Structure 1
Amino acid sequence: MAPKRNEPDLSFLLDHTSHILRTQMSAALAEIGLTARMHCVLVHALEEERTQAQLAELGDMDKTTMVVTVDALEAAGLAERRPSSRDRRARIIAVTEEGARIAGQSQEIVDRVHREALTSLPEPDRATLLQALNQLTEGHLATPAESPRPARRARQ
């Protein structure tokens, strides 16, 4: 006999909704030839001069994934690797004019997908959900626990 669950399955609820949101985001961004990682790199690279390592950290990507993502952005003419203006030993990811245009489009898509996800909730519940999620990510769920077998983190 299975043990009785005494609490809601928060892990399932968060994992499931996150997975579905990622699939919807992936499909929407694919319409303009981007992945969520490509969008992330473009947007963060436009904010300020950043190295590939800094962008990888912001996007929670390992080195290999970051290289593949930047290679794809370069092949599409959306970004390029350039020497940093602040440190000539470092190379930054610079967004091209076309990349900036596409980043604007992709941000509109990301905003639309998020807005559509929230429309299934009554208006007052939307703000409550966002406030509660922010409190969790800034509080109890801000830092991963140390573990001898770390959980794999799914990323879009």
Structure 2
Amino acid sequence: MTAMTPARTEPDLSFLLDHTSHVLRTQMSAALAEIGLTARMHCVLVHALEGERTQIQLAEIGDMDKTTMVVTVDALEKAGLAERRPSSTDRRARIIAVTDEGARVAGRSQKIVDRVHEQALAALPDGDREALLRALKLLAGDGLSAPAENPRPARRARQPLK
């Protein structure tokens, strides 16, 4: 640190959240790859099983753009895990329906996701684990619930191509 370096008055929250999020994503990606899924595929399967949802609704839940959602659903269809069907309430809309095999795979993938989360949190004592989760829920529900309007939007880190 030089004399010109500004003094830090707060911990580097951006680095801490970014780094831990990146590591968790890589661990999740590796674990789900064992059954041929991506985290996005898992997200679509699980949320499509909750009720009749369109691609647009599932994209919003999974924080995906339209192109990413189309590619994800295409992969799920190719694997026989989901299919696009007309909505029962709106003939113009198409929903993502999970096949029986997709529901079975979603059950397996949810166990994997739970295990990865449990392993990540195992590094913390019980009280700290509960405090971290409570604090993150508060931030996600209030202080950091929506991105700021910005003429130059922040880009998310690119995921490596396989």
Instruction: Give the TM-score, by structure 1 length.
Output: 0.96
1:9-52 per-residue CA deviation (whole Å, 9 max, x = no partner) reads 00000000000000000000000000000000000100000111
CA distance in structure 2 between the partners assigned to 1:155 and 1:48 by the alignment: 31
Write the distance in 1 (CA, Å) between the matches of 2:134 and 2:140: 10
CA distance in 2, matches of 1:65, 1:144: 19
Determine which of 134, 140, 143 is the counterpart of 1:140: 143
Q: Secondary structure in 1 aligned to 2:77?
A: helix
Tell me which residue corresponds to 1:64. 67
Aligned-pair Cα RMSD in Å: 1.2
Query: Match for residue 17 of structure 1?
Result: 20
The whole-number CA distance in structure 2 between the counterparts of 1:43 and 1:24 is 19
Consecutive unaligned residues of structure 1, counting only runs of 5 or more, are none
**Secondary structure at 1:139's aligned position in 2?**
helix
Q: CA deviation at 1:154?
A: 4.4
How far does the alpha carbon of each residue in 1:74-98 deviate from its partner, in whole angstroms, 9 at most, with x for none?
Answer: 0000000111111111111100000
Say which SS state the counterpart of residue 92 (structure 1) adopts.
strand
Aligned residue runs from structure 1 range 60-139, under 5 A: 60-139=63-142
Which one scores higher on RCO, CA 8 angstroms, separation ≥ 6?
1
Aligned to 1:6: 9
Query: AA paired with 1:39?
Result: H
Identity across the alignment (%): 80
Q: What runs of 5+ residues in structure 2 fail to find an aligned partner? A: none
1:35 to 11, 35, 38: 38
TM-score between both structures, scaled by the size of structure 2: 0.93
